[in-house]
Amino acid sequence: MSSDETNMQLLKSFSPLDGLKRDNLAALARKVQLRELSPGQVLFKEGDTEKRTFYIASGILELVDQGKVVGTVAGGSELARNPVAPVFPRRVSARARDRVKFISIDSDLLDVMLTWDQTGTYEVSELQGKSDSGDDWMTTLLQTKAFHKIPPANIQAIFMRMQQINYRAGDVILKQGTEGDYFYVLTRGTAIVTRETPLSKDGIKLAELSVGDTFGEEALISDAKRNATVTMTSDGGVMRLGKEDFKKLLNEPMLHWVSYEQGQKMVQNGAVWLDVRLPSEYQNHHIDGAVNIPLYFIRLKINTLNSNTKYVVCCDTGRRSSAGAYILNERGFNAYVLQGGINKDKV
């Protein structure tokens, strides 16, 4: 029996996983592993807020409140069929009495899968039929915080409206300076993002892409021409979504607009203004204290930003800043957009 089949049998012993359709359960089984705790080792502490769903497969887990054991969960018992202490923040701590085997699942991912399974006709097998790369790219997307903000019905429609395109190494998927027409998800292979400049006709490298990475959104959001070229560095493929479907189904639910006054209050409480215009525009006029990272450098410089900080993204009109905020939100940041841009508001 394969490890995936073993995982499926194990997952079927838990609630509500036992209610998932077979293909959805199989997709989940490929993303979870059976893990182990040594005696005395802590699974989580009281007050923890990390959204993980835990199930006990074997051994005994003690639930501890203020140093006193207030309950136990024994693998194979009726109690163990349900998630351990599912309320956030955790009201108790959990530690292993003996050797404990457990599984851990991203709670938001599980919630999305359960919602799909129970409210629509979506099944992973239907989507696999559209792509020969399996569901790794889909699960990668679902595990991003960005997709947790999208209504399940929208996600279902997004996947169903995507088109598969195959490429060879060296093929250009999109070219700098052309009109934006599609949003892309890399489903097989690798690619490179480059930007041509007056000093570099061959282009400077902005990013390397792998399975599950997305691109092409900036031009769709800002109604501008492509600001970079994406070239395959190996044989592979993408799934693409048309411009209007992207805007309606994916972009709108992810953007949060604020007025200048609201942005200022957020900054007073620890947020940061992030100006995505060109350095020359920034030097001519900008909001006091704003950090400047041009839109086309966002992917390259994203590691310099603090994922625990809120960002109020701004530009002159709101077009480029909405593209920048989308990229940040897609990668787990908490980003807002200045409504109308700095040219509209008195800054």
How does pLDDT run across 281-291, given as a tens digit for each residue? 899 889 999 99
**Mean pLDDT across 210-216:** 87
Asked if residue 329 lies in contact with residue 149, where contact means CB atoms within 8 angstroms, the answer is yes
Q: How is residue 242 written in tokens?
A: 């048309």
Task: Fill in the amino acid letter for 111.
Answer: D
Distance CA 234, CA 69 (A): 55
Q: Residue 94: enclosing H or E segment and its boundaries?
A: strand 93-96
For the chain, domains (ranges, CATH) are: 3-106 (2.60.120.10), 120-251 (2.60.120.10), 255-338 (3.40.250.10)
Burial class (CB in 10 A: 0-12, 13-18, 19+), 268: exposed
For helices 152-161 and 107-119, give the axis angle rounded to 10 degrees: 80
Distance CA 63, CA 45 (A): 10
Which stretch, 98-112, 208-222, 265-279, 333-347, has highest mean pLDDT?
A: 265-279
For 264, residues 6+ apart whose C-beta sits below 8 A from its C-beta are none
Q: Residue 70: enclosing H or E segment and its boundaries?
A: strand 68-74
CA dihedral sign of residues 280, 183, 197, 204: positive
C-alpha dist (Å) from residue 40 to 35, 146, 347: 15, 36, 57
Distance CA 77, CA 99 (A): 16
The model's pLDDT over 3-45, given as tens digits with 9 standing for 90+, comes to 556 688 899 999 888 888 887 788 788 878 899 999 999 999 9
- Whether 171 shows a pLDDT value over 90: the answer reads yes
Buried b (16+ CB within 10 A) or exposed e, 142-179: bebebbbbbebebbbbbbeebeeebbeeeeebbebeee
Asked if residue 241 lies in contact with residue 197, where contact means CB atoms within 8 angstroms, the answer is no
Average pLDDT of every residue of the chain: 85
Distance CA 140, CA 147 (A): 10
The model's pLDDT over 124-164, given as tens digits with 9 standing for 90+, comes to 444 444 444 445 677 667 766 667 677 766 777 787 888 88
Other beta carbons less than 10 A from residue 39's beta carbon: 12
Q: How is residue 341 written in tokens?
A: 């841009």
Higher pLDDT pick, 227 / 81: 81
**Mean pLDDT across 219-247:** 89
Active site amino acids:
315
- Whether 274 shows a pLDDT value over 60: the answer reads yes
Distance CA 246, CA 253 (A): 11
Which has the minimum average pLDDT: 55-59, 117-121, 156-160, 224-228?
117-121
Q: Are strands 68-74 and 60-65 parallel, antiparallel or unpaired?
A: antiparallel
